Chain A
Amino acid sequence: MVDKSKVIICRCNDVTQKDIEDLIDQGITDIEMIKRITHIGMGPCQGRTCIPLVAAIIARKTGKSYDEIGIPPTRIPTQPVQMRILVGDDDEE
């Protein structure tokens, strides 16, 4: 039996499979709410790894289809950008 508290779903914010399943067991099955409580999809990788995994867990545990689950919007910038680059000050260093 895998220890679900050791299975990392989101490496940016250190969220485990157990964290996600506990929320679903409490009745929180909306991916938007799971995102806000655990911060999945909100770290530097913008959900590239975790969102599909979380969607799969929700689908398995609730029987919802992927269409019903939906995908939270990706926010810009899709890759982290340093502020010095945005202010046009990238000649330092």
Chain B
Amino acid sequence: MMKNKVDIAIIGGGIIGLYTAFELAKRGVENIAVYEKRYIGSGSTFRCGTGIRQQFGDEANIKMMKRAVEKWTNLGDEMDFPNFKMAKTGYLFLLYDEKEVKTFKRNVSLQNSLGVPSKVITPEEAREIVPTLDISEVIAATFNPTDGKANPFLAVYGLARKLRKMGIEINEYTEVKDIIVKDSQVEGVKTSKGEVKADIVLNAANAWAKIFNEKLGLNIPIEPYKHQGIVSEPFKLGEIKPMVVSFKYGGAYFTQKANGGLIGGIALKYGPTWDLTPTYEFLREVSKNFTRIIPALKHISIIRQWGGYYAETPDHNAVIGKIKEIEGYYLAAGFSGHGFMLAPSVAEGMADLITKGHTNLPFDFYDPYRFERGELREQAVQMG
């Protein structure tokens, strides 16, 4: 039986909802429930490109990601699921003109000043990392060996397994229909399986977050855009260890997964839309751009293509924090193309915010009220 009263109700069983439940549980909050309208991970999390990087261009995202990587590194042990491991295979950004080089040099100094060991390297050095690269047009690259990737399926499965062992309720196929608010105070949630009382509700519904905000009269710009990904047949492991990124060629990003298949995508997007049908245009553009970066990929077959949402805000940075108008309402959504990688530090900060009222992580940067104040952040470095 589903509980009819909890301390904290979390809407959304993606990486953000589940990881936040885990951080709360570690702080001794036990009466938590997660509500997921389909199966856990079914939103954007299982559709993501698996990439984890600290190579951002602003202090807040770099700090958040540095902390996130520390936490990703230990997550397997923490959730007693050693099968889960972050692979520190790096991120390699290929640069093709002076302007790009200038921006990336600036980013690398900022990253270095915050303790991230990224560096600017030559095209030849880039080819030592990925021998099949076509470097004829590349003039420089940046590489950070402590970036990498992790398997979202295992992350979600491991977290859910651990949470259930800790007695945390995860309700799949349970849709939250409404957040119940009385006198500007959260009172609970109305779900497809009945009402649940709760003083605190976290909206971790990412692309769907705005549906609740709109019903509550809050105007926070988060819109669903269709992005897509592909996976190829497996080929010899170790050929493409890092995530390779090229803004020149379609905003392409790709890497080889542990089973030898290639996973990746390009910047082509559609929306705002709720449609997730894969497009032939994407398949063709992926092939065109990937094979410009690594010509040998011509001989590799694509075996799967899918669509997923980027929940986008005007500055491509998420919206995280406490909603002032409604006591007990918290929001962590709008992660664009980097919500998987950020999840550990978002969860840690959110759990502190809920239990202690503050966090040492730079949450101000993601302030839900920045849009209404007209304070857009510098666009987050984003692929896809």
Which residues from chain B contact A33 at a C-beta distance below 8 Å?
39-41, 157
Which residues from chain A contact B161 at a C-beta distance below 8 Å?
26
Which residues from chain B contact A80 at a C-beta distance below 8 Å?
233, 301-303
Which residues from chain B contact A86 at a C-beta distance below 8 Å?
283-284, 286-288, 302
Q: Are B157 and A44 in contact (CB under 8 A)?
A: no
**A54–B17 alpha-carbon span in the complex (Å):** 29
Q: Are B306 and A75 in contact (CB under 8 A)?
A: yes
B298 adjacent to chain A (CB < 8 Å): yes
Complex interface bits, A12-32 against B, C-beta within 8 A gives 1, otherwise 0: 010000000000001010101
Which residues from chain B contact A42 at a C-beta distance below 8 Å?
231, 304
A87 adjacent to chain B (CB < 8 Å): yes
Q: Are B299 and A84 in contact (CB under 8 A)?
A: yes
**A87–B154 alpha-carbon span in the complex (Å):** 34
Given contacts A13-B259, A39-B259, A44-B303, contact A83 B291 (CB under 8 A): yes
**A21–B123 alpha-carbon span in the complex (Å):** 49
Interface positions, chain A 22-70, Cβ under 8 Å from B, are 26, 28, 30, 32-33, 36-37, 39, 42-44, 46
Q: Are B303 and A83 in contact (CB under 8 A)?
A: no
Complex interface bits, B266-301 against A, C-beta within 8 A gives 1, otherwise 0: 000000000000100001101110110000011111
Q: Are B301 and A81 in contact (CB under 8 A)?
A: yes
B371 adjacent to chain A (CB < 8 Å): no
Which residues from chain A contact B39 at a C-beta distance below 8 Å?
30, 32-33
B172 adjacent to chain A (CB < 8 Å): yes
Q: Are A83 and B153 in contact (CB under 8 A)?
A: no
Within the complex, the shortest CB–CB distance from B258 to chain A, in Å, comes to 10
In the complex, the chain B residue whose C-beta lies closest to that of A31 is B39
Which residues from chain A contact B300 at a C-beta distance below 8 Å?
82-83
Within the complex, the shortest CB–CB distance from B84 to chain A, in Å, comes to 11
Which residues from chain A contact B301 at a C-beta distance below 8 Å?
44, 80-83
Which residues from chain A contact B291 at a C-beta distance below 8 Å?
83-84, 87, 89
Could you say which of B157, B302, B304 contacts A36, with CB atoms under 8 Å apart? B157
In the complex, the chain B residue whose C-beta lies closest to that of A92 is B298
**A28–B284 alpha-carbon span in the complex (Å):** 37
Q: How large is the interface on A (under 10, 10 to 19, 20 to 34, 35 or more residues)?
A: 20 to 34
In the complex, the chain A residue whose C-beta lies closest to that of B284 is A86
Within the complex, the shortest CB–CB distance from A33 to chain B, in Å, comes to 6
Q: Are A87 and B305 in contact (CB under 8 A)?
A: no
Q: Are B305 and A76 in contact (CB under 8 A)?
A: yes
Could you say which of B42, B283, B290, B303 contacts A32, with CB atoms under 8 Å apart? B42
**A43–B291 alpha-carbon span in the complex (Å):** 22
**A83–B172 alpha-carbon span in the complex (Å):** 38
Q: Are B303 and A43 in contact (CB under 8 A)?
A: yes
B46 adjacent to chain A (CB < 8 Å): yes
Which residues from chain A contact B286 at a C-beta distance below 8 Å?
83, 86
Within the complex, the shortest CB–CB distance from A29 to chain B, in Å, comes to 11
Within the complex, the shortest CB–CB distance from B284 to chain A, in Å, comes to 5
Interface positions, chain B 152-167, Cβ under 8 Å from A, are 153-154, 156-157, 161
Q: Are B278 and A76 in contact (CB under 8 A)?
A: yes
Within the complex, the shortest CB–CB distance from B321 to chain A, in Å, comes to 31
Q: Are A36 and B153 in contact (CB under 8 A)?
A: yes
Given contacts A33-B39, A36-B157, A77-B303, contact A83 B297 (CB under 8 A): yes
In the complex, the chain A residue whose C-beta lies closest to that of B172 is A30
In the complex, the chain A residue whose C-beta lies closest to that of B160 is A33
In the complex, the chain A residue whose C-beta lies closest to that of B298 is A84
Taking A86-B283, A87-B291 as known contacts, 18 extra A-B pairs with beta carbons closer than 8 A to each other, sorted by chain A number, are A30-B172, A33-B40, A33-B41, A36-B41, A37-B153, A37-B157, A75-B304, A76-B304, A76-B305, A77-B302, A77-B304, A77-B305, A82-B299, A84-B287, A84-B298, A86-B284, A86-B288, A86-B302
What residues make up the interface of B, taking CB atoms closer than 8 Å to A? 39-42, 46, 153-154, 156-157, 161, 172, 231, 233, 259, 278, 283-284, 286-288, 290-291, 297-306
Complex A-B, nearest 3 residue pairs according to Cβ-Cβ distance, in ascending order: A80-B301, A86-B287, A84-B298
A-B contact pairs, 30 of them (CB 8 A): A13-B259, A26-B161, A28-B157, A32-B42, A33-B39, A33-B40, A33-B157, A36-B46, A36-B153, A39-B259, A43-B303, A75-B305, A77-B283, A77-B302, A80-B233, A80-B301, A80-B303, A81-B283, A82-B299, A83-B286, A83-B291, A83-B297, A83-B298, A83-B300, A83-B301, A84-B291, A86-B286, A87-B284, A87-B298, A89-B291
